[in-house]
Amino acid sequence: MVKLKFFAQLRERLGTASINIEYAGQKTVADLKDALLEQGEKWTLLKEQDVLCAVNQTLCGQDARINDGDEIAFFPPVTGG
Amino acid sequence: MISVQSEDFDLCHEYKQLRENTDSDGAIVTFTGLVRDFNTLGSVSAIEIEHYPGMTEKSLMNICSQARKRWHLGDVRIIHRVGVIEASEQIVFVGVTSKHRKNAFEACEFIMDYLKTNAPLWKQESTCSGMKWVKSNQSDEAAIASWYGKNRDDKDSSQSA
């Protein structure tokens, strides 16, 4: 099982803040996105260029390794401060 | 020390704490960010800040340690508010102490630049046409890139290290 979290505009556009999905051996964040895309058209939003990703609360790229039990978050560019 | 909180903070209290924690430091630099009551689209009555509980704190701690690697610092204090904040209220506080002012000035600015582009916080503005998400600012990206003198990918890999 991996836990997916979504924030800000991306959370609103997807209509969900968090989901758990079965871990099916995906190696990277990019693999995970491909797997999600097979489950529905709305997940194409994750492929938009400015979407950032964090694995276990550390910012990382699309080729970052993922494992069973990870927490993976997707969000737009940050605007704090 | 870092805090992510909905409550407002007391500048005098934070300054006093920094003074008490300084160990023969000769400089304290503080920055306080306020909610502007306008933006490019008109007036703003309040903002709402969303965060990623856990990662936001982790990110602010990482910012402190990045600053400590670059400058010899005494105490470092970061407070970032979340939730609904009215116009003209305080949003963010950064306080840095150091032996000499140059380090403290630079570290304070670096922390703000880093926070603006790396801490998982997202701002919505309450305008006359409803809540609007704030777009990320290219000049913020340029500001943090200038500290590194290289591109964003290099900076990100330093964060995950």
Residues in chain A with CB shorter than 8 Å from the CB of B156 are 59-61
Is A77 part of the contact surface with chain B (CB cutoff 8 Å)? yes
Assembly ipTM = 0.94
Q: How many CB pairs under 8 A join A and B?
A: 79
Is A57 part of the contact surface with chain B (CB cutoff 8 Å)? yes
Q: pTM for the full model?
A: 0.90
Interchain contact, B122 vs A78, CB within 8 Å: yes
Is A24 part of the contact surface with chain B (CB cutoff 8 Å)? no
CA pair distance A72, B86, nearest whole angstrom:
32
Q: What CA–CA distances, in Å, run from B61 to A26, B114, B121?
A: 30, 11, 14
Q: What is the pLDDT of residue B137?
A: 85
Across the range A32-60, mean pLDDT stands at 93
Q: DSSP label at A26?
A: -
Min distance A55 CA to chain B CA atoms (Å): 10
pLDDT tens, position by position, B77-121: 999 999 999 999 999 999 999 999 999 999 999 999 999 999 999
Residues in chain B with CB shorter than 8 Å from the CB of A76 are 122, 133, 136
Ranges of residues in chain B whose predicted pLDDT is under 70: 150-161
CA pair distance B146, B138, nearest whole angstrom:
12
